Amino acid sequence: MGYISVFDVLKIGVGPSSSHTLGPWKAALQFLETIAIEEVESVSVHLFGSLALTGKGHGTDIAVMMGLSGHDPKVVPVEIVQELPDQIKASGKLSLGGKNDIAFDYSHAIQFHFSEQLTLHPNGIRFIAFNQLGAELSRQTYFSVGGGFVVHENDMGAEAVSEGINVPYDITSADDLEAFCMARRMNIAELAMKNELHIAAEGQVRGGLNAIWEVMRDCMFRGCHTPGLLPGGLNVRRRASDIYKKLASEPRQAANSLEWFQQLQSLQPPFNETLNWISCFAMAINEENANFGRVVTAPTNGAAGVIPAVLAYYVLFSGKEVTDAKIQDFLLVCGVIGTLFKNGATISAAMGGCQAEIGVSSAMAAAALTEGLGGNVGQSLMAAEIAMEHHLGLTCDPVKGLVQVPCIERNSMGAIKAITAANLALASDPEKAKVSLDEVIQTMWHTAQDMHQKYKETSLGGLATNIAVIVPEC
């Protein structure tokens, strides 16, 4: 696998799922690059495995229509995401790549193969383009391998993300990371920055990190100020705004998320309220994610609330003076730790269950918080190990295929575990640890392989089938 940038791990996109929404969306955009758009008369889309079983709940069909229409998930207004698919369904027309209006009968154009899974990965998607005579112009198969990463079937097993880029520190394991840091007398953030500067100028890197934090902060702001029910049929009530109102007994009006955070910095809540604030932040983001809002894949959409909630805790309640540079360092550490899990195991719930999402995000946040609070490299890696160790075996069992129950609450739990892991590591000597981060990553991968398929984002097991009255969509 080629070098994976921090910006490959932390991506700006649209909810509710990185593997089931963002991945198929990007696959559709890649498919457009393989065809002469003006020559296409019709397109058919085939979803396999987990993409079929939980596709409608995760908005895979919506993502496909948005991608085929040529919209970029990073910048498209979220209002369009909620409007355009309904317009396509009603009209039976789709503007392919924004250039060619083709017939698109939703009920036939997107086919869900519930009982069929392609051999290379559970998240398979195939696009076929036809001309006026009904002859195939292009047939392409892609796999959404987690965290918004998409791989063509011909490239499986060779998923170079930044192919051809030689970075000074080729990190393949936590041991490598620690050895490089010790030899060069650098912390994790400094080492990550050295690698990123071989891809882009420092101003671009820091600007990109600032943009990521801004999206996270904006998402928390929206989520804390938006009541109502989430879409999808479960009638899940948004709770973050209610929690926020109770915590901010006399909330002042803020024009934007930056002004809002500046107001919150004056708070000095007691321990119990601090916990509630962390849960509020995490749930606010994932309620926005469930509503097709703009989030940062960190490392997945289903786990998008963990890292921002822990970062918010660091900025607001840790007692440290946290500058923009410190926030950038936090995100750099998150990206490096996420890379270790992607290289050594998986960040796909369809491959590894929710341990690959909430567990990995908790480990990323724990390491970053530890370094931010003054911990050394060994303590940061120890924090990541502790966080993942206590997520091992966590199943992915979304009720009705929606990224709502139990996903939203799990983000608050992952955030709290990350903070606890950081504090444990800061109070410990990593030289005396019995389990290394590399060993827990390997254990996570073995656990993923042993886990029954029904607990891997299929809605065929766990909570998805054991709640009265509710049945999975498939």
Mean pLDDT of the region 279-305: 97
Tell the CATH superfamily of the 17-155 domain: D-3-phosphoglycerate dehydrogenase; domain 3 (3.30.1330.90)
pLDDT at 393: 97
Query: Comparing C-alpha atoms, which of 354, 385, 211 is closest to residue 286?
Result: 354
Q: What is the pLDDT of residues 256-285, one digit of tens each?
A: 999 999 999 989 999 999 999 999 999 999
pLDDT at 141: 98
Give residue 215's pLDDT band: very low, low, confident or very high (50, 70, 90): very high
Percent of the chain with pLDDT over 90: 92
> Which one, of 255, 456, 272, lies nearest residue 353 by Cα?
456
In contact, 34 and 228? CB cutoff 8 Å: no
- Per CATH, the number for 174-465 is 1.10.4100
Q: How confident is the model at residue 161 (pLDDT cuts 50, 70, 90)?
A: low
Q: What mean pLDDT is reported for the chain?
A: 94
Q: What is the pLDDT of residue 472?
A: 41
Mean pLDDT along residues 218-236:
96
pLDDT at 474 over 60: no
Q: In sequence order, which residues have a C-beta less than 8 Å from that of residue 145 and are 6 or more positions away? A: 19, 23, 121, 123, 151, 159, 346, 348, 351
Give residue for tokens 């009255």. Answer: 469
In this predicted structure, the answer to whether residue 83 has a pLDDT above a threshold of 70 is yes
Instruction: Give yes or no for residue 228 having a pLDDT over 60.
Output: yes
* Percent of the chain's residues with pLDDT above 70: 96
Q: Is 60 exceeded by the pLDDT of residue 162?
A: no
Q: What is the mean pLDDT of residues 208-219?
A: 98
Of 381, 407, 390, 396, nearest to 443 by C-alpha is: 390
What number is the average pLDDT over the span 108-128? Answer: 95
- Sequence spans of domains, the chain: 17-155, 174-465
pLDDT in tens, 376-422: 999 999 999 999 999 999 999 999 999 999 999 999 999 999 999 99
- Cα–Cα separations (whole angstroms), residue 130 to 25, 36, 287: 20, 11, 39
3-state class of 435 per DSSP? coil
Residue 378 sits at φ, ψ, to 5 deg, of -60, -40
Return the exposure string of 360-390: e unless at least 16 CB atoms fall within 10 Å of the residue's CB, then b.
Answer: bbbbbbbbbbbbbbebbbbbbbbbbbbbbbe
CA distance 67 to 25: 5
**In this predicted structure, what is the pLDDT of residue 468?**
64
Q: What pLDDT band is residue 252 in, cutting at 50, 70 and 90?
A: confident
Give the separation between CA 286 and CA 295, rounded to whole angstroms: 9
What per-residue confidence (pLDDT) applies to 158? 54
pTM for this entry: 0.93
Look at residue 255 and tell me whether its pLDDT is greater than 60: yes
Model pLDDT, residue 473: 40
Please determine, for residue 251, whether its predicted confidence score (pLDDT) is greater than 90: no
- Give the residue-averaged pLDDT of 213-239: 96
Please give the average per-residue pLDDT across 361-380, as a whole number. 98
